[in-house]
Amino acid sequence: MQNKAICPTHTATLLVCCLLCACGMKTQAQSQARERVKQLGHNVSYRIEGQSTFSDHDSPLWLNANKYGLSSISGNNGYIRVGAFRSTETDSTYNWKFGYGIDMAAAYDFTSSFVLQQLYADIQYKKVRLSIGSKERPANLKNPQLSSGSQTFGTNARPILEFRIEIPEYISLTGTSNWVGIKGHFGYGFFTDNNWKGTYTEPGRQYADHVLYHSKSGFLRFGNEDKFPLIFEGGIEMANQFGGIIRNYPREGESLPMGHSIKDFIEIIYSGGSDPGEGVYANAMGNTVGSWLFSLSYKFKNAKLRVYYDHFFEDHSQLFFQYGWKDGLIGIEFQLPENRFISTLLYERIGTKDQSGAVYHDHTEAIPDQISAKDNYYNHGLYTSWTHWGQAIGNPLYTSPLYRHDGQLSFDNNRFIGHHFGISGSPTEEIAYRILYTYTSNWGTYSAPYDEIKYGNSFLCEIAYSPKRIGKHRTQGWQAKAAFGLDRGEQIGNHTGFQLTISKTGWLTK
């Protein structure tokens, strides 16, 4: 299996070298090309992992959330996972860099029994990369271990298959001084949960399949931490669901095909166009979501303090300041001086109650005034919801539809206030831990508010053990993680669970 994953790259590279040789390259260049072929197979890492979760009811929130969708809300679930990867960082001395990955799992009590979690290829020239496939990508300006998650491009759902051009790391706009940097991406893709939606959705309920995807982002960084301790980062993330077919619309058994022409691919870039059937209430095409992200950090001699903000918007109503930015996620992260007990403290406050207000009205010829309120975060009239395989693509505190257990893919709770705390540390070189606690007050949605506020408490304690030796035997690359999670409250119920993960990482070649 591992050799088969590497051979296509070897073959393609050998063909390239043969063509170059045929064109009359000098002997020295031929020798360099042959050496390049050999190196393409080097430094391929592997990961083997097994996980089991045991719960009395549904899986507790933090045993399920922010695992790139390789998780399940079922009370007892698990998987065996195998992956092989080659990073573009392996080619750090070359202008052209190549990377790839294949990552799959056999699972039980998941939304599917076989999960092709990642399958991608990266081709990079200097700092610009072409990335094709499904790939786990970290959230921007968030602590991956402690944060509750980003609101647009989070880490809660399975990766979306995407073709993107990106600058993954900041490149300097001010030469060697490196005071101003820029990064971003632009891509198209499609969702892979078509068959699952058809079987999961309650008969007669509306859902969308064969949905297309567009995403983009752009960030600026001001400051150079090596020369001055204060750094500011800011930018925007945007995504769109478009195209596909809306099933059971406008009534059961009927379908509404959506646009997928070249014109649609162009109009979706600037959220133009409109959807079929909108008539006088024509709005932007598809489902548009996005976030403004900002971060300000200060580096002390042996510590670091960072404050950040994540402002989510649907369509255009909170893209700018017309309705005020009353909703958002604000966080503070403190990396302490090196010690044996606590390395990082984090607090986040997220509020989504306002949504531009409770009244919605699109302008018409008879009524030219427009009030673009009632944003209904993560829900959409045609595309149902901002989900992939039933999990919220963004922040998991928006209660994912899978927790509804009613065959619907819409969010029944997107108006809430949450307080989230995270602590991590490493008492020894072999032991690390993290603790998460979240408290939420939930109001449901504007269209279907709860009769009374529902409260929720979610807790996680996770300990990771990475032994260097057991007895006389070296155990490099082995890790065992034990996690205890619980939920208490009316929002998703009372759940108690335990999760055990054992993994082995290493190199296939060196």
Give yes or no for residue 409 having a pLDDT over 80. Answer: yes
172 in Cβ contact with 417 (< 8 Å)? no
Report d(CA 53, CA 27) in Å as an integer: 58
Is the C-alpha dihedral spanning 392, 398, 403, 404 positive or negative?
negative
Q: Can you give the length of the chain in residues?
A: 510
Question: Quick one: pLDDT band at residue 39, thresholds 50, 70, 90?
Answer: low
HSE of 28 in the Cβ direction (CA atoms, 13 Å)? Answer: 0
Distance of alpha carbon 187 from alpha carbon 162, whole angstroms: 7
Q: Quick: pLDDT tens for 258-292.
A: 988 999 999 999 887 777 766 555 667 899 999 99
CA distance 81 to 119: 13
Can you give the pLDDT at residue 26? 42
**pLDDT tens-place string over residues 105-119:** 999 999 999 999 999
Angstrom distances, CA of residue 483 to CA of 54, 61, 247, 480: 11, 12, 40, 10
The fraction of the chain above a pLDDT of 70, given in percent, is 88
> Mean pLDDT, the chain, as a whole number?
89
Sign of the CA dihedral running 124, 127, 131, 136: positive
Dump pLDDT digits (tens) for 154-183: 999 999 999 999 999 999 999 999 999 999
Tell me the C-alpha to C-alpha distance, in Å, between residue 299 and each of 141, 142, 227, 425. Answer: 16, 17, 11, 19
For residues 229-256, average pLDDT: 95
Nearest-angstrom CA–CA distance, 331 and 309 = 6
Burial (CB < 10 A; 0-12, 13-18, 19+), residue 125, is exposed
Which pLDDT value is given to residue 281?
58
**Tokens for 220?**
């600026």
Q: Mean pLDDT over residues 470-478, rounded?
A: 83
Q: Higher pLDDT residue, 26 or 41?
A: 41
Q: To the nearest whole percent, how much of the chain has pLDDT over 90?
A: 76
Res. 384 pLDDT band, cuts 50 70 90: very high
> How far apart (Å, rounded) are the C-alpha atoms in residues 313 and 146?
23
Going by C-alpha positions, the residue among 23, 43, 21 that lies closest to residue 32 is: 21
| Contact assessment for residue 343 and residue 426, using Cβ atoms and an 8 Å cutoff | yes
In 3D, which of 507, 505, 491 has the Cα closest to residue 457?
A: 491
pLDDT confidence of residue 254 = 93
pLDDT of residue 425: 97
CA dihedral 245, 249, 253, 256 (to 10 degrees): -40
Residue 151 has pLDDT above 80, yes or no: yes
- DSSP string for residues in 240-257: EEESSEEET-SSTT-EEE
- Residue 20: enclosing H or E segment and its boundaries? helix 2-22
Cis peptide before 337 (omega within 30 of 0): no
Identify the pLDDT of residue 35.
55
Which carries the bigger pLDDT value, residue 186 or residue 321?
Answer: 186
* pLDDT score recorded for residue 1: 38
Q: How confident is the model at residue 42 (pLDDT cuts 50, 70, 90)?
A: low
Pick the range with the lowest mean pLDDT from 71-80, 205-214, 361-370, 375-384.
361-370
Q: Would you place residue 475 in the very low, low, confident or very high pLDDT band (cuts 50, 70, 90)? A: confident
List, in sequence order, the alpha helices (H) in 159-287: 194-200, 262-267
510 has pLDDT over 90: no
Given this model, what pLDDT does residue 18 score? 40
Provide the 8-state DSSP code for 22. Answer: H
> DSSP letter at 7?
H
pLDDT at position 274 is 74
**pLDDT band at residue 6 using 50, 70 and 90 as cut-offs:** very low
Q: What is the pLDDT of residue 276?
A: 74
Reported as half-sphere exposure (CB side, CA atoms, 13 A), residue 181 has a value of 18
